[in-house]
Amino acid sequence: DAAGIDLGLAAVASAARSVETAGGTAAGGRPRYRRVNYYEGILEPLLDRNPHLRKAICFYTGITAERLLFDRPASPHPNHTWTATGVECSPSPRKGSDGHNYFAIRGKQVILCGGAVLTPALLLASGIGDTEELRRLGVAPLRSAPGNVWRGVGKNLRDHVILANAFLTLAPFSQPARAVTSVRGWLALDIGDARTPERPDADTLRSRMLLKVLDGSTSPTIIPDVLALAFRREYRFTPRHLCSVVNGCLRILTSLLAMLLGFAFDTFPIRWILTVHTKQVLVALVNPESVGTVSLHRTRVRGASQNNDASTSTTRLSDFDVRVDPAYLSNPRDFQRICLGWKVLNRITPTWFQHTTELMPGPAYANNLRRYASDFALPYYHWSGTCAMVHTLSDGEEDNYVVDAELRVRGGIGNLYICDASVLPDHVSGPPALTLAGMGLVAAGFFEKFLAKKSA
pLDDT tens profile 44-53: 888 888 888 8
| pLDDT for residue 360 | 85
Amino acid at 29: G
Amino acid at 85: T
Average pLDDT of the segment spanning 25-39:
61
pLDDT tens profile 392-409: 544 445 567 899 888 999
Rounded mean pLDDT of the chain?
77
Question: What are the backbone angles phi and psi of residue 31, rounded to the nearest 5°?
Answer: -60, 135
| pLDDT for residue 72 | 78
| pLDDT for residue 182 | 78
Statement: residue 244 has pLDDT above 70: no
| pLDDT for residue 351 | 80
| pLDDT for residue 302 | 60
| pLDDT for residue 245 | 73
Count other Cβ atoms within 10 Å, centred on residue 252.
10
Strand 82-90, strand 413-414: pairing: parallel
pLDDT tens profile 172-219: 665 555 555 777 778 888 887 655 444 545 556 788 888 888 888 888
Amino acid at 13: A
Query: Directed axis angle between helix 270-277 and helix 219-234, to 10°?
Result: 100
| pLDDT for residue 398 | 55
pLDDT tens profile 80-130: 678 899 999 988 655 554 555 788 888 888 999 999 999 999 999 999 999
| pLDDT for residue 77 | 63
pLDDT tens profile 255-313: 888 889 888 888 888 888 888 888 888 899 998 999 999 999 988 766 544 333 334 45
CA distances from 246 to 235, 241, 253 (A): 9, 10, 10
Better-predicted residue by pLDDT, 59 or 311: 59
Average pLDDT of the segment spanning 331-350:
88
Q: How far is CA 133 from the centre of its chain?
A: 23
Better-predicted residue by pLDDT, 6 or 208: 208
Q: What is the 3-state secondary structure (H, E, C) of the chain?
A: CHHHHHHHHHHHHHHHHCCCCCCCECHHHCECCCCCCHHHHHHHHHHHHCHHHHHHCCCCCCCEEEEEEEECCCCCECCECEEEEEEEEECCCCCCCCHHHCEEEECCCEEECCHHHHHHHHHHHCCCCCHHHHHHHCCCCCCCCCCCCCCCCCCCEECCEEEEEEEEECCCCCCCCCCCCCEEEEEEEEEECCCCCCCCCCCCCEEEEEEEEECCCCHHHHHHHHHHHHHHHHCCCCCHHHHHHHHHHHHHHHHHHHHHHHHHHCCCCHHHHHHHHEEEEEEEECCCCCCEEEEEEECCCCCCCCCCCHHHCCCCHHHEEEEEECCCCCCHHHHHHHHHHHHHHHHHHHHHCCCEEEEECCHHHCCCHHHHHHHHCEECCCCECCCCECCECCCCCECCCCECCCCEECCCEECEEECCHHHCCCCCCCCCHHHHHHHHHHHHHHHHHHHHHHHC
Average pLDDT of the segment spanning 441-448:
86
| pLDDT for residue 188 | 85
pLDDT tens profile 352-362: 777 778 888 88
Q: Residue 43 — very low, low, confident or very high, per pLDDT cuts 50/70/90?
A: confident
Q: Residue 5 — very low, low, confident or very high, per pLDDT cuts 50/70/90?
A: very low
| pLDDT for residue 307 | 37
Would you call 48 exposed, middle or buried from its count of C-beta atoms within 10 A (0-12, 13-18, 19+)?
exposed
| pLDDT for residue 62 | 84
Query: From its phi and psi, is residue 128 left (phi > 0), alpha (psi between -120 and 50) or beta?
Result: beta
Q: What percent of the chain has pLDDT over 90?
A: 21
Average pLDDT of the segment spanning 19-44:
60
Closest CA to 353 of 210, 211, 207: 211
Cβ neighbours for 423, distance < 8 A, ≥ 6 positions apart: 387, 388, 389, 402, 403, 407, 439
Average pLDDT of the segment spanning 139-147:
72
| pLDDT for residue 203 | 58
Q: Residue 155 — very low, low, confident or very high, per pLDDT cuts 50/70/90?
A: very high
Q: Residue 30 — very low, low, confident or very high, per pLDDT cuts 50/70/90?
A: low
Statement: residue 430 has pLDDT above 60: yes
- As a whole number of angstroms, the distance between CA 381 and CA 154 comes to 16
| pLDDT for residue 191 | 80
Amino acid at 198: E
Statement: residue 10 has pLDDT above 60: no
Cβ neighbours for 362, distance < 8 A, ≥ 6 positions apart: none
- As a whole number of angstroms, the distance between CA 57 and CA 74 comes to 31
Closest CA to 91 of 62, 67, 58, 125: 62
